[in-house]
Chains A and B, each alone.
Chain A
């Protein structure tokens, strides 16, 4: 999660010298991505923001119920990677890579993974 954050930070820094790559990236993204993937991407952004806020709270204020922080933070991270996995599995561009995983199968995997993740999150929440 955190490295991804730095990645997105690094992007604007380079963008100051050359404006075009980020713009082209944004345009290309808007044009080529289907609604379905955009929905997941919005969800990913949401999870990333939640995670960052929790992380800031831990760094700036306190980490006192450390298990609660870990549970909250890792639920964000876990859900993020599961959603990202779902995204790459349903992405038609990756069809060759995931021969055995149909989009429906991917969703079932996602649901199972989320339930298991949530079980541990609640168990850890205290």
Chain B
């Protein structure tokens, strides 16, 4: 592949260099012979038109191609410094470039032995290969001739290139997320929420049965303590609703001081009352 690109590059250079003189081929001709040297087909080639039927080679047949490169004006033999045959499979896009040796007199001979095919022959299928000739010269303008179509026995399909995958779009990645957890139906939740009222009934029922006595709840010593405790709970509810952590810690530390003081006073009062009341 790299060789192909390279030669294209040089040819395009040559286009820039040359102007007037052009090259042509004299008496191009191909011969197909079997392995036992018996001739199967031999025809001259026309540069304007390809042969009507494609050339076909068996697994051990030999294709011979001969021509002479000449100057179109003078008819003199020319040795172009670049002469390539290109085998190109239009369907698969496979191609192979084969340099052809040209004598100083412009004569060239190319042999394609299918028993030992050259490395330039690309992997093939049953499709015909387009064979074309490229000539490049320092003093002539470059030319390209479509010579003929060639059918050779199919080979194994070409090996996958190691980085083939990275030249194609990758399949889109679909992320699978954990399914969103569902809330249960409202009714069930509401039922359980109502069920949670039941312990309250039990609690109030038991308390009303026991009738606990809090005789001094509203005495001036105890009320502030109860109030600050309630304030603490309110602060925490507020935290849940709106406040941020830093704020609640600040408020709580401020509130802690009066709570501690009130608590000390209240509990001392209770303790005194208990001890004063006599040991139960």
Contacts and interface: CB of A to CB of B under 8 A. Distances in A.
Asked if chains A and B are in direct contact (CB within 8 A), the reply is yes
Contacts of A104: 267-268, 270-271, 274
A42 B210 CA distance: 9
Interface of chain A, main secondary structure:
helix
Nearest to A52: B199
B175 to A, nearest CB: 22
Interface residues on B, range: 35 or more
A22 interface: no
A105 B203 contact: no
A122 B239 contact: yes
B236 A43 contact: no
Contacts of A107: 267
Interface in B191-248: 192, 195-196, 198-200, 202-203, 206-207, 210-213, 229, 232-233, 236-237, 239-240, 245, 248
Contacts of B280: 92
Interface stretch (A1-9, A10-18, A57-65): A57-65
B212 A39 contact: yes
A85 interface: no
Contact of A50 (B182, B196, B248): B196
Interface residues of A, number: 32
Contacts of A56: 192
B202 A119 contact: no
Contacts of B211: 35
Interface string A114-126: 0100110011010
A35 B270 contact: no
Given A61-B184, A103-B274, A38 B210 contact: yes
Contacts of B252: 119
Interface string A58-97: 0001101000000000000000000000000000100000
A38 B239 CA distance: 33
B236 to A, nearest CB: 5
B271 A35 contact: no
Contact of B232 (A61, A62, A115, A123): A115
A35 B192 contact: no
Nearest to A47: B199
B225 to A, nearest CB: 8
Interface string B247-280: 0100010000000000100011011001000001
B246 to A, nearest CB: 13
